[in-house]
Chains A and B, each alone.
Chain A
Amino acid sequence: MNHDQSFTNQEFKIVGTRPPRPDGVDKVTGRARYGADAFAPGQLVGLILRSPHAHAKIKKIDISKAEKLPGVKAVITSADLPDLTKGDRGQLDILENCMARGRALYDGHAVAAVAAVDAETARKALQLIKVDYQVLPHVTDVDEAMKDNAPIVQPHIRTVGVNPAPTKASNVSQRTEFGHGDVEAGFKRADVIVERSYKTEQTHQGYIEPHACLASVGPDGQGELWVTTQGHFTFRNQCASLLGMDVAKLKVTSSEIGGGFGGKTHVWMEPVALALSRKANRPVKVVMTRDEVFRATGPTCSTSIDVKIGATKDGRITAALATLRYQDGAFPSIWGMLGGMTSFACYDLENVKAIAYDVLVNRPKVAAYRAPSAPMAAFAVESTIDQVAAEIGWDPVDFRIKNAAKEGTRASYGPTYGPIGIGPTLLAAKNHPHMKAPLRKNQGRGMACGFWFNFGGQTCTDLNIGVDGTVSLTVGTVDVGGSRASLSLIAAEELGIPYEKVKCTVADTASLGHNDTTEGSRGTFSSGMATIYAARDAIRVLKERAAKTWEIDVADVTWRNGRAMALKAEHGNLNELTLEELAAASPRTGGPIAGHNEVVADGAGVSFATHICDIEVDPETGHTKVIRYTVIQDAGKAIHPDYVEGQFQGAAAQGIGWALNEEYIYGKDGRLQNPGFLDYRIPVCSDLPFIDTQILEIPNPGHPYGVRGVGETSIVPPLAAIANAVSNAAGVRLTHIPMSPPRILKAIKNGNGKSHAGR
């Protein structure tokens, strides 16, 4: 869409300040209501029975005993969730992931569910459901799954993207390729070539709030769903189509959300809760345990990646090649393809190729996790970049600066970049005091770059002006980290009124038009855009009302600093009309004053970050400590800097956990061995230092304020930055994430990989 391009060097009065968030008091007093905090009269407790097997045929499910237990109001299996997807395999996959259909595809796959008067009764009912399994051979490792003799997870899958099209079933759902130029020719021109293989283990988004919902469906086909989600409109559409309900008759309300990071963009047990409620004709509350969250929801991929990069002694990369193998869990997806697209996006490359494989295994369906797929690819590529720089004796920052993508560079995934921030983040890193800070014994410094696309999507916003001149801003994007504060700032900026006069609310699906899920760092970008246009729409009405009041031509009216002013000299005698005055008079000047906007917020600018970190390694135990960490990222324009910094810091912390200690550990039996926060080790407060941030503002031409999404990009560099730091500290190259103490100690003992220390 076309914007007023005067976004550069815009003067802002309110945007860029740091006022308190509107939901702050509710959240520090315990009043804020999250997924599990709702109650409905007569509500039942819903529990889900899950497969203990990684792969099994479900020969029979006997629910008769459970149904007879006093206090049990409904027991359901896949028979209660008939296939209404009309051949849409993608939709059927979603349904089958919610409830197994004749086969269990991973440890934790739902096979049946009960609704009962209380938790104790529901628990007993689950124990009374008898499932007759025929255990099948399973595969959980991505490389194993690609072998010819591997157990087949989805017999209907034929690899897409290979010629000739295969006739035999495979665990490889698709092969994709990106790049340009001639890599073989490029490698021939290289003075140095580094080729290396990497592995990353599966991690979970680890939001502290487990999935929870309260579902209510009546015999009249009308329903309500209270749920913790990143996208209640998407959940409504998906649940309605899976259950054969009318979209308009299912009202979905998004609770306060206790973290999502991509894991709450997909439906999991919500359709099951609705089906239980429909059968019991009572409200049903389903709250997952932490064990269920780990075993059955949203992890990201484990991967296996080969990278080959060639460069000349004068510091130019001549060719770059990556082969990426991503496991998507038990259902086909495009996570490997995304890894292929993002792998070399930071660099200006003449010859580049990325070949990506999406692979099925007996693990939970993979969900988006913050800049999905990019961190693993960046780990492999940025680790190799460091080794190439060392081989030719270049400083890793200078080497990256020399090869960084810039405006006009053809991205490795195809298009040509407009104005982008990779160069500036690298320069900022080079000049950052952190780079010059001294290191002690057993400490190493690492840095790395990261890229993420960002996107916008369908957005719809209402702005209503109350009779006292205060403004209620109604948005449809879920507030995952302070966006209500940012959007209120934007509305106040446009209208020229104080931030305190604006109250921003996230509407339910019955109160506003469709809004896409809050994902892809789109919340503040797209709802911000819609808020700007809704405010300008309201200002148009305000000017009309002023013109009416003054009985002059609306063309002679302008809006400045929250006031209508008459332009021409002949109107000099007219006093300005404030928003309050126009609002108070509105009943007699034409009724309520409101602004609206419906937009497809395309034009999200791509985003880049550069991170620097210092790590200390105990050479006798392999223990690591993060000594110092710095995040530098382009925000386009920071609306509320506190929450921009918060996104940078949170993403970095998740990356640190991923790099050092977080991993899914499966046993030979294909069962997840650490489905809890005790042994799935996310960083605790004492593990981390303060995380320094530097916000760069390279305005995005695609947004009236120049905003770029900031939520995801900073989870991309940490795996590589920390791997480079650990490798520099330990004197050996680490190639397996997470770099847990046993892996580091083993690497030190074996002295594997040549040391590239010396920084």
Chain B
Amino acid sequence: MAQGIHVATTINGDAVEYVCQPRETLLEVLRNRLGLTGAKEGCGTGDCGACSVTLDGRLVCSCLVLGAEAEGRSVTTVEGLSTNGNLHPLQKKFIEHAALQCGICTPGFLVSAKALLDRNPDPTEEEIRYALAGNLCRCTGYDKIVRAVDAAAKELRSKA
């Protein structure tokens, strides 16, 4: 077996160290080595977005990032969305608007939606739909998800 690689990185603001195999993806490291199972594997090929996280602030599929690549970077997962005990407005609106049914895609949608609102606080419906096109949902037809993101954007703007 190939030699393990030591990685020092930051996850959800905390300094984290781990040893992973060269082949191991960031998603596998998060789920199997660090117990952060919020990111899900729906496809393993970057087509479903269920494993979405941000890497140095950029939205990525953690199934298409090697664990070794996280060295010295900063990773944010769905577990990092709530701050000091409070749900992020996106999380609140997803519940209020019944924007989830089975919920397996929800963590990925929340991370993607946050990345969208961070760079575009006032997106149109079309901008929301295209920004979320990398996240597959098979339950909702996306209707209530788009409404929830729009509602969260409004709330965030009103606070800003």
Q: Are A and B direct contacts in the complex by CB distance below 8 Å?
A: yes
Contact assessment for A650 and B101 in the assembled complex, using a CB-CB cutoff below 8 Å: yes
Say whether, besides A120-B21, A208-B48, A481-B101, A686 and B133 are in contact (CB < 8 Å): yes
Question: How many Å lie between the Cα of A260 and that of B102 in the bound state?
Answer: 9
Say whether, besides A652-B141, A685-B142, A28 and B110 are in contact (CB < 8 Å): yes
Contact assessment for A209 and B102 in the assembled complex, using a CB-CB cutoff below 8 Å: yes
How many whole Å from B89's CB to the nearest CB in chain A?
A: 11
Question: How many Å lie between the Cα of A488 and that of B23 in the bound state?
Answer: 46
Contact assessment for A208 and B146 in the assembled complex, using a CB-CB cutoff below 8 Å: no
Which residues of B have CB within 8 Å of A678?
Answer: 45, 47
Contact assessment for A482 and B101 in the assembled complex, using a CB-CB cutoff below 8 Å: yes
Contact assessment for B79 and A30 in the assembled complex, using a CB-CB cutoff below 8 Å: yes
Contact assessment for A30 and B38 in the assembled complex, using a CB-CB cutoff below 8 Å: yes
Contact assessment for A24 and B43 in the assembled complex, using a CB-CB cutoff below 8 Å: no
Q: Digit string of B116-160 for contact with A (CB within 8 Å is 1, else 0)?
A: 000000000010111011111111111111110000000000000
- The answer to the question of B39 belonging to the interface, with a C-beta cut-off of 8 Å to chain A, is yes
Say whether, besides A30-B36, A36-B40, A258 and B103 are in contact (CB < 8 Å): yes
Say whether, besides A28-B95, A208-B136, A690 and B146 are in contact (CB < 8 Å): yes
Contact assessment for A29 and B81 in the assembled complex, using a CB-CB cutoff below 8 Å: yes
Q: Digit string of A624-651 for contact with B (CB within 8 Å is 1, else 0)?
A: 0000000000000000001101100110
Which residues of A have CB within 8 Å of B147?
Answer: 690
Which residues of B have CB within 8 Å of A649?
Answer: 140-141, 143-144
Quick one: which of A34, A121, A642, A650 has the most chain B CB within 10 A? Answer: A650
How many whole Å from A252's CB to the nearest CB in chain B?
A: 19
- The answer to the question of A20 belonging to the interface, with a C-beta cut-off of 8 Å to chain B, is yes
- The answer to the question of A32 belonging to the interface, with a C-beta cut-off of 8 Å to chain B, is yes
Contact assessment for A208 and B137 in the assembled complex, using a CB-CB cutoff below 8 Å: yes
Say whether, besides A208-B50, A290-B42, A481-B139, A259 and B98 are in contact (CB < 8 Å): no
- The answer to the question of A27 belonging to the interface, with a C-beta cut-off of 8 Å to chain B, is yes
Which residues of A have CB within 8 Å of B135?
Answer: 685
Contact assessment for A33 and B87 in the assembled complex, using a CB-CB cutoff below 8 Å: no
Q: Digit string of B57-95 for contact with A (CB within 8 Å is 1, else 0)?
A: 000000000000000000001110110000100110011
Question: How many Å lie between the Cα of A650 and that of B141 in the bound state?
Answer: 5
How many whole Å from A7's CB to the nearest CB in chain B?
A: 25
Contact assessment for A480 and B38 in the assembled complex, using a CB-CB cutoff below 8 Å: no
Contact assessment for B139 and A259 in the assembled complex, using a CB-CB cutoff below 8 Å: yes
Question: How many Å lie between the Cα of A207 and that of B78 in the bound state?
Answer: 21
- The answer to the question of B15 belonging to the interface, with a C-beta cut-off of 8 Å to chain A, is no
How many whole Å from A717's CB to the nearest CB in chain B?
A: 14
Quick one: which of A261, A290, A645, A684 has the most chain B CB within 10 A? Answer: A684
How many whole Å from B144's CB to the nearest CB in chain A?
A: 6
A688's contact among B40, B87, B141, by CB below 8 Å, is which?
Answer: B141
Contact assessment for B140 and A646 in the assembled complex, using a CB-CB cutoff below 8 Å: yes
- The answer to the question of A382 belonging to the interface, with a C-beta cut-off of 8 Å to chain B, is no
Interface size on B, residues (CB 8 A): 61
How many whole Å from A30's CB to the nearest CB in chain B?
A: 2
Within A563-613, which residues are at the interface with B (CB < 8 Å)? none
Contact assessment for B130 and A259 in the assembled complex, using a CB-CB cutoff below 8 Å: no
- The answer to the question of A23 belonging to the interface, with a C-beta cut-off of 8 Å to chain B, is yes
Contact assessment for B141 and A691 in the assembled complex, using a CB-CB cutoff below 8 Å: yes
Contact assessment for A482 and B98 in the assembled complex, using a CB-CB cutoff below 8 Å: yes
- The answer to the question of B54 belonging to the interface, with a C-beta cut-off of 8 Å to chain A, is no
Question: How many Å lie between the Cα of A120 and that of B43 in the bound state?
Answer: 18
How many whole Å from B13's CB to the nearest CB in chain A?
A: 15
Contact assessment for B50 and A685 in the assembled complex, using a CB-CB cutoff below 8 Å: no
Which single residue of chain B is at the shortest CB-CB distance from A652?
Answer: B141
- The answer to the question of A25 belonging to the interface, with a C-beta cut-off of 8 Å to chain B, is yes
Question: How many Å lie between the Cα of A650 and that of B136 in the bound state?
Answer: 12
- The answer to the question of B100 belonging to the interface, with a C-beta cut-off of 8 Å to chain A, is yes
Contact assessment for B43 and A685 in the assembled complex, using a CB-CB cutoff below 8 Å: no
Which residues of A have CB within 8 Å of B106?
Answer: 27-28
Contact assessment for A207 and B142 in the assembled complex, using a CB-CB cutoff below 8 Å: no
Say whether, besides A25-B87, A208-B50, A482-B98, A650 and B45 are in contact (CB < 8 Å): no
Which single residue of chain B is at the shortest CB-CB distance from A27?
Answer: B103
Question: How many Å lie between the Cα of A24 and that of B1 in the bound state?
Answer: 42
Contact assessment for A25 and B139 in the assembled complex, using a CB-CB cutoff below 8 Å: no
Quick one: which of B31, B82, B100 has the most chain A CB within 10 A? Answer: B100
Within B22-42, which residues are at the interface with A (CB < 8 Å)? 23, 28, 31, 35-42
How many whole Å from B96's CB to the nearest CB in chain A?
A: 7
- The answer to the question of A218 belonging to the interface, with a C-beta cut-off of 8 Å to chain B, is no
Contact assessment for B101 and A208 in the assembled complex, using a CB-CB cutoff below 8 Å: no
Question: How many Å lie between the Cα of A375 and that of B130 in the bound state?
Answer: 29
B138's contact among A32, A210, A259, by CB below 8 Å, is which?
Answer: A259
Contact assessment for A209 and B37 in the assembled complex, using a CB-CB cutoff below 8 Å: no
A208's contact among B35, B94, B104, B128, by CB below 8 Å, is which?
Answer: B104
Contact assessment for B104 and A677 in the assembled complex, using a CB-CB cutoff below 8 Å: no
- The answer to the question of A21 belonging to the interface, with a C-beta cut-off of 8 Å to chain B, is yes
Contact assessment for B136 and A677 in the assembled complex, using a CB-CB cutoff below 8 Å: yes
Contact assessment for B141 and A30 in the assembled complex, using a CB-CB cutoff below 8 Å: no
Which residues of A have CB within 8 Å of B55?
Answer: none
Say whether, besides A208-B42, A646-B144, A24 and B133 are in contact (CB < 8 Å): no
Which single residue of chain A is at the shortest CB-CB distance from B82?
Answer: A29
Which residues of A have CB within 8 Å of B47?
Answer: 676-678
Contact assessment for B102 and A29 in the assembled complex, using a CB-CB cutoff below 8 Å: no
Question: How many Å lie between the Cα of A652 and that of B138 in the bound state?
Answer: 11
Which residues of B have CB within 8 Å of A23?
Answer: 103
Quick one: which of B1, B104, B110 has the most chain A CB within 10 A? Answer: B104
How many whole Å from B8's CB to the nearest CB in chain A?
A: 22
Contact assessment for B130 and A686 in the assembled complex, using a CB-CB cutoff below 8 Å: yes
- The answer to the question of A289 belonging to the interface, with a C-beta cut-off of 8 Å to chain B, is yes
Question: How many Å lie between the Cα of A31 and that of B40 in the bound state?
Answer: 12
Which residues of B have CB within 8 Å of A33?
Answer: 37
Which single residue of chain B is at the shortest CB-CB distance from A207?
Answer: B138
User: Can you report 14 residue pairs joining A to B where beta carbons are below 8 Å apart?
Assistant: A25-B95, A27-B106, A28-B94, A36-B31, A120-B23, A207-B104, A208-B50, A257-B102, A259-B138, A290-B44, A642-B98, A678-B47, A685-B129, A685-B130
Interface residues of A (CB under 8 A from B): 18, 20-21, 23-25, 27-34, 36-37, 39, 119-121, 205-210, 256-261, 287, 289-290, 480-482, 642-643, 645-646, 649-650, 652-654, 676-678, 682-686, 688, 690-691
Query: 7 shortest A-B CB distances, which residue pairs?
Result: A30-B38, A258-B104, A653-B141, A27-B103, A642-B98, A649-B141, A677-B47
Known A30-B107, A653-B141; further 14 A-B contacts with Cβ < 8 A? A36-B40, A208-B138, A258-B42, A290-B42, A290-B44, A290-B45, A645-B98, A646-B139, A649-B143, A650-B101, A650-B138, A650-B139, A653-B138, A677-B43
